[in-house]
Amino acid sequence: MTATDQTQSPLDTGPRLGGLRRFMHHHPSLVTMPALLAISLAVTVAIHPEYDSFDAQSLAMGAMPLALAAAAQAVVLISGGIDLSVGSMIAVCNVLAAATMEHATFGESLLLAAAICVAGALLGAVNGLIVVFSRVPDVVVTLTTGFIWGGVALLILERPGGGAPEEFLQLGAGFLVTPWISGSLVLVAAAVAIIWIPVQRSRLGLLLYAVGSDKAAAFRSGVNVELTRFLAYVLGGLLSAVGGIGLVMTTGIGSPLAGVYYTLSGLAAAVLGGVSLTGGRGGIVGPVLAAYVLTLIPADLIFLNIDPNFGQVIQGSLIVLVVMGGGLVGLLQGRKR
């Protein structure tokens, strides 16, 4: 939410318009997504004037797993792949956390959380290895591994249960300084800052974009395409693991079936956030912000006393409309030429 101010402030400074145009050209989602989020927040406040820190906190908590699922999907999409097992990896890490932390102390829980992050990265590594070595299309591989991880999650915890120490839950459910900055918001920002930003700034970040935009060209320039694709899946697994742990913090338990929703919605948020399915374009901030927009919609519907089940209809329609709108723009531009 803080990104809104940063990107919107140049809007009213005239001389910097050229720079803004260039910025918009290179990072369209960094302008449109904060704007869309600001609009949906404004709409929320308009229809629900008594919007307070409690609502903001529940939004942050509700959106956290989705934001991380979107981030995980975005990394893989940027590298030119796709990961339809994100939700199941979240579920595995979620039940792992809930099953192992139930009787642990706070310190142990933190260590366990680190171990689960490693486990998530391993799940991602398995995805990556199969995609790279089997040469089976990534959609098929991850659709199937998603099914397998679902079985693994059921194996760890047959039905919703488990738990974690109260202090650990407070990391996500509590707040920092003011109730407006909830722990889950900080967690998402930290995950993006600690995991993605160093990657994006490093050689690997460049390679991810290179491989995503043109595998053959990247290969001929001496890029290890297979290693790069593999690492993208590992990063996806790692971010999913953070999502799974975050889900424990916000719900207090582990649920083996909780993940299903996050695969589709995470992909939706990634696409909405400006990541290209053909790879090589987009970032992570856009998808993360899109996750908050997608979470706001059902909340707004509750404020409006509309059946919140419409939320899914609207989420689906939003994706369809956004991608169709994108296609229409392309069609019109093509005709002009």
Partner 1 sequence: MSAAADPAPAKGSAWQASAGRALNLLRRHTTAALLVLLVCFVGGIEMIVPGTVTPTWISNIVLFAAPLGILAAGQTLVMLSGGIDLSVASVATASAYLMATHSSLGSVACVLWGLSVGLAVGLINGVGVAVLQVQPLVMTLGTGLMTQGTLIVYSQKMLANAPRVPSFIQSLGSGKVLGGIPIDLILWAPIALVVLIGLRRTGLGRLFYAVGDNREACQLSGVRVWQVLLTDYVLCGLLAAVAGLVIVGGTNAADMSLADVYLLPSVAAVIIGGTSIFGGRGGYAGSIVGALILTVLNSLLTLLDAPEPIRQILYGAIILILAAAYTRLTD
137 binds partner 1 (CB under 8 A): yes
Q: Which helix H or strand E contains 176, and what residues bound it?
A: strand 175-176
Residue from 96, 173, 199, 319 touching partner 1 (CB under 8 A): that is 319
Using CB under 8 A as the binding rule, whether residue 216 contacts partner 1 is answered as no
Candidates 47-55, 147-155, 217-225, 243-251; binding stretch for partner 1 (CB under 8 A): 147-155
* Binding status of residue 335 toward partner 1 by CB under 8 A: no
Counting residues that bind partner 1 (by CB under 8 A) gives 47
Query: Which 176-215 positions form the footprint of partner 1 (CB under 8 A)?
Result: none
Task: Give the three-class secondary structure for 87.
Answer: helix
Q: Using CB under 8 A, which of 47, 114, 155, 190 touches partner 1?
A: 155
Element (H, E) at 180: strand 178-182
Query: Under the criterion CB under 8 A, does residue 147 sit at the interface with partner 1?
Result: yes
Output 38 or 154, the one with its CB closest to partner 1: 154
| Phi, psi (rounded to 5 degrees) for 176 | -115, 125
Whole-angstrom CA distances from 98 to 153, 158, 169 are 11, 12, 11
**Is residue 167 at the binding interface for partner 1, with CB under 8 A as the rule?**
no
Report the nearest approach of partner 1 to the CB of residue 77 (Å).
10
Residues 6+ apart with CB under 8 A from 200: 283, 284
Identify which of residues 177 and 332 has a Cβ nearer to partner 1 in the complex.
332
CB nearer to partner 1: give 39 or 136: 136
Q: Which is nearer to partner 1, 106 or 219 (CB)?
A: 219
Using DSSP, state whether 181 is helix, strand or coil. strand
SS3 assignment, position 81: coil
Of residues 54-93, which lie at the interface with partner 1 (CB under 8 A)?
A: 82
Which of 24, 223, 264, 304 touches partner 1 by CB under 8 A?
A: 264
Q: Which of 46, 139, 194, 206 binds partner 1 (CB under 8 A)?
A: 139
Residue whose pair of structure tokens reads 């391993």 in the numeric block: 122
- Each residue 299-318 as x (binds partner 1 by CB under 8 A) or -, in order, gives --------x-xxxxxxxxx-
Q: According to the binding rule CB under 8 A, does residue 271 interact with partner 1?
A: yes
| 40 half-sphere exposure, CB direction, 13 A CA radius | 21
Q: Binding to partner 1 by residue 8, rule CB under 8 A?
A: no
Decide if residue 267 touches partner 1 (CB under 8 A).
yes
CA-CA-CA-CA torsion sign (64, 65, 68, 70): negative
Q: What's the rounded Cα separation, in Å, for the pair 301 and 308?
A: 6
Alpha helices in the chain (DSSP H): 2-8, 17-26, 28-47, 53-78, 86-101, 106-134, 138-156, 166-173, 183-191, 197-201, 203-213, 215-220, 225-251, 260-272, 285-303, 310-336
Longest dimension (CA), the chain: 66
Which span sits near partner 1 by CB under 8 A: 133-141, 192-200, 205-213, 243-251? 133-141
Q: Is 107 in the site for partner 1 (CB under 8 A)?
A: no
Q: Which of 9, 17, 278, 302 binds partner 1 (CB under 8 A)?
A: 278
Both tokens assigned to 315:
């989420």
| Distances from the Cα of 130 to the Cα of 3, 67, 230, angstroms | 37, 26, 9
Q: Nearer Cβ to partner 1, position 105 or 134?
A: 134
Smallest distance, Å, CB 203 to partner 1? 29
Contact residues for partner 1 (CB under 8 A)?
82, 130, 134-137, 139-141, 143-145, 147-148, 150-155, 158, 264-265, 267-268, 271, 277-278, 307, 309-317, 319-320, 323-324, 326-328, 330-331
